[in-house]
Each structure stands twice: as C-alpha cells, then as structure tokens.
Amino acid sequence: MVETTMHAPTRTSGAVAQPAEQTPLDELKASLRKLLATLMDRAFGLALDKVEVLAGKLDEVAARGGLGLNALLGGVRASLQGRNPIWGAIKGAVAAMSPAAKAALIVALVLALLLLPLTVVLLLLVLIVVAVWAAVRAGSR
C-alpha cells in the first residue's frame, strides 16, 4: 500500500504562498490564452456554421434554378478550374435538363447532322439568287 501525504499550504503573513515558478502575471497570461482560444474556437465554429448554411442554400438554388442558372454556375466553375467556361456552361445546362429534354436534344442534333448537306445546298442557292439579283440591279443602272 502506498502512503500519500498531504502538505498544508504554507502561510506567510496571512496569505497563501505562490509556487516560485507561477506568478500572478503568469496566471493572468495563461487565463487570457485560454480565453482567447475559447473565443477563437467559438468564432470559427459560428463562421463554419454560416458557411455550411450558405452552401446549402446555393445547392438548393442550383437544384431548382433551371437551365440558365445551372449554365451560369457551370461556366463559373469551369473558369475557376482553368477550363473553357463555354463548355462548362453547356455541361451545366445539359445536366439540369430532364431525361426527356436530353433525348429531344440528341434527336435534334442527329437531325441537324443528317440535314446539314441539304441546309448547305439551300444556303448556296440563296447566295446564288442574291448574287444574280445584285448583278441585274447593278446592270440596270
């Protein structure tokens, strides 16, 4: 069995004697450090809570914001990552589309590719007609 002995505080002229290494100024400094650490911990905790609330609100806006907002956010995100913001905006807009809208977009793109030769021929015919009309008009003056 280990015997422990308790020492009574030494009294000098009616006051409790302080240990030689712990002065009242050191105690004050230690208390102020603890207070500052507690204040910083609480301040950072409140700031982090506010950031989390803001991030949640931005997620909600992005989820129900529609094509325009998602395109804007996609473009900003891509530009912050050093990529092409236009491609990021396109990806953001497509991501916000419903599956039916995505299917309609794919069908429209396929039709545009299939009809591209016809469109080019029609455009060339229009340009020929405009050139002939301009030549006739210039010759009649």
Averaged pLDDT in 10-residue chunks for the chain of 141 residues: 50 52 87 90 86 80 72 88 91 87 90 89 94 91 77
pLDDT at position 58: 74
**What is the residue whose two structure tokens read 């590719």?**
113
In angstroms and rounded to an integer, the radius of gyration of the C-alpha atoms of the chain is 38
pLDDT at position 1: 47
- For the whole prediction, is pTM greater than 0.85? no
pLDDT at position 60: 74
pLDDT at position 132: 95
User: Are 91 and 79 in contact, with CB atoms under 8 Å apart?
Assistant: no
Q: In the chain, where does DSSP find H-type helix?
A: 24-64, 66-80, 85-96, 99-139
User: Are 95 and 70 in contact, with CB atoms under 8 Å apart?
Assistant: yes
* Residue 16: DSSP 8-state: E
Sequence letter at residue 108: A
